[in-house]
A = this chain, B = another copy of it.
Amino acid sequence: MKAFKTANESDARGNGFIPNLAIDVVVFGFHDSQLKVLLVKYSKTDYVALPGGFIKVDENLHDAAERVAKERTGLNNIFLDQFFVFGDMSRYNAQPFREVMEANGMPAKADHWLLNRFISVGYFALVDFTKVTPTPDKLFDSCGWYDLNALPALIQDHAEIISKALNALRDRLDDKLIGFNLLPEEFTMGQLQALYETILGKKLLRSAFQRKMLGLNILERLAKKYTGAANKAPYLYRFKAK
């Protein structure tokens, strides 16, 4: 939530955006056999948060999520999926934002629209780690990848949002075959298995995994990949668009 960039484009009343409604995007990446999440740190404070933003009054909800994801990753055509709406009053805590605004010279009047209660639509994004350019913003000191297993303290309920995003990703992994979005266009079976094992949090049998994946008829076998390692060269595969 709270992409202050977009907030700055508007005024203290939030004109141009739908009030009280936000989007939080959990951007997942995969690198070094680990799941990563893209997080931002607000300028001049220690607050770490999910990338987020608001919906323009005449903008499709999905487009708004795409816009937010694109702003932080530099990517187009990002895979995005809704997973939950966070609407409890208990998540409402304006204190961090008040501090951020004051620390950055924005007048934090009590009735500023950003300090109101927000309901947030949770999206998760699956991206090719190697293609992402984490992009901060004038109100962010940094924007970068964090290991899912070593997350820093996050504002509000953002830790819970990530947790629910991961659960949704697990649930839909086999069903909707969305994992490929986390890999480069060409990958080996070993990479794919490592990805699945990381997401599901358990070891899988190599032979069974291979046959299951090939049996789905969604993989196209390409040339072998000679890594220079002293072992058989694995084939490269590509996700076969239906």
Mark A residues whose CB is within 8 Å of B: 18-21, 55, 57-62, 64, 82, 84-90, 117, 119, 121
Shortest A214–chain B CB gap in Å is 26
A21–B59 CB distance below 8 A? no
* Copies assembled: 2
Partner of A20, one of B18, B86, B89: B18
Closest Cβ–Cβ distance, residue A167 to chain B (whole Å): 12
**A54 CA / B55 CA spacing, docked (Å):** 18
Which residues of B have CB within 8 Å of A87? 55, 60-62, 64, 121
Q: Give the contacting residue for A21; candidates B21, B57, B58, B88; CB below 8 A.
A: B21
Return chain B residues, CB-CB under 8 Å to A61.
85-88, 119
B89 in contact with A119 (CB, 8 Å): no
Q: How far is the CA of A107 from the CA of B26 in the complex (A)?
A: 43
Closest 5 CB pairs of A and B: A61-B87, A18-B20, A60-B88, A85-B121, A60-B89
Chain B residues within 8 Å of A18, by CB: 19-21, 119
A60: chain B residues within 8 A (beta carbon): 87-90
Known A18-B20, A60-B88, A82-B85; further 14 A-B contacts with Cβ < 8 A: A18-B21, A18-B119, A19-B20, A20-B20, A20-B21, A55-B119, A58-B117, A60-B90, A61-B87, A61-B88, A62-B88, A64-B87, A82-B84, A85-B121
Nearest B residue to A92, CB-CB: B58
Indicate which residue in B19, B82, B84, B86 contacts A19 across the interface (CB closer than 8 Å). B19
The residue of chain B having its C-beta at the shortest distance from the C-beta of A18 within the complex is B20
A121 vs B19: C-alpha distance in the bound complex, in angstroms?
A: 15
Chain B residues whose CB sits within 8 angstroms of the CB of A58 once the complex forms: 89, 117
Distance, CA A159 to CA B107, complexed state (A): 45
Cα-based distance from A82 to B83 in the complex (angstroms):
9
